[in-house]
Amino acid sequence: MVQSSIGTLQRNKGRCLVTGVAGFIGSHLAERLIDEGYSVRGVDGFTDYYPREWKERNLVALKDAEGFEFVEQDLLTADLPALLSGVDFVFHLAAQAGVRSSWGRSFTTYTHNNILLTQQLLEAVKGLPIGKFVYASSSSIYGNVDVLPVTEDQTPSPISPYGVSKLAGEHLCNLYFTQFNVPTVSLRYFTVYGPRHRPDMAFHRFIRAILLEQPITVYGDGNQTRDFTFVSDVVQATVSAMRSPNAGKVYNISGGSSATVNEVITLLEQILGQKAKVEYVARQEGDVRDTFADSTRARRELGYAPKVDLAEGLRREANWLKEALEEMGLLNREGSRPSSSQPH
């Protein structure tokens, strides 16, 4: 059943379904849509990939927001026609995350949550008068490429099972667009970061470790590069994709802030005023060496223009995580770790 603090209020601009709404990007997207006058039906199954506590925190601002409805349900077993009733736009962000954990027997979870779920949702949408189906893809679909920056015309060659599962979702979106006219758009997000960053992600781990005076684990030599994209820029691109007349397209969504992992750690040391304790370990299977995107198509067709540079974005994420750790009792207001605290 849909849980809502305000019932089923109809808002002027239409109703959006956001899957994975309790997640990092999903919660930011839902807030943006609410602020712009849309109503949002958000669904999340609270999978155990990381602690529920963090996801609950993501929903705090939304729970009492006018125009927001929340469904806690596993989408694989949900009544999808009921969830889609009255929906004008679909944002499919729910997925099993994690490159390194997608190997071995764990891939069953990825096939269910990333491939089968996407197919079932597209099948349920087929024939409905929705304006857009926006699918959250990943830069992981590219794998290691010889020529950077990478364009959307580059043949995908993922090097992790996770990347394979996200690419399969793109293929399903294209299939339902060409065969059934479902107005899909796939967005290839490049290393998104910012407040509410998942606890397993590098920036979250780095900031937390520096603040709590714990060692940072870096996989590889730290000279691998990533094209970092701040979450508000990703949200802007996602909303723009909903409004665009274009369908059946894929877009690179990147921040244009390419840096090595070592450079990021140096920036964090400057922002936090603390020295990092870095431990280098072997590179993990599935980790690409470098990512750097050409976002020309998104700029031209979606009006996409990232606004937050890496230094400012890191500062915002650090401030958010410092406050969160203080609220959890893991950090004193003065910025030091309480002597009796234990890491969560």
The answer to whether 100 touches 286, Cβ cutoff 8 Å, is: yes
Tracing tokens 């024939």 back to the chain, one arrives at: 127
User: Is 135 part of the annotated catalytic residue set?
Assistant: no
- Contact residues for 129 (Cβ-Cβ < 8 A; gap 6+): none
The answer to whether 172 touches 118, Cβ cutoff 8 Å, is: yes
Catalytic entry in 38, 135, 142, 162: 162
The answer to whether 257 touches 310, Cβ cutoff 8 Å, is: yes
**Quick one: residue 213, left, alpha or beta (phi over 0 = left, psi -120 to 50 = alpha)?**
left
C-alpha to C-alpha distance for 248 and 178, rounded to whole angstroms:
8
The answer to whether 331 touches 325, Cβ cutoff 8 Å, is: yes
C-alpha to C-alpha distance for 176 and 168, rounded to whole angstroms:
12
C-alpha to C-alpha distance for 7 and 141, rounded to whole angstroms:
40
- Would you call 52 helix, strand, or coil by DSSP? helix
The answer to whether 17 touches 91, Cβ cutoff 8 Å, is: yes
Q: Which residues is 277 bridged to in the sheet?
A: 215
Q: How far apart, in Å, do the first and last CA atoms of the chain sit?
A: 32
- Would you call 203 helix, strand, or coil by DSSP? helix
Report CA torsion sign: 10, 16, 21, 26: negative
Could you give the residue numbers annotated as active site? Answer: 162
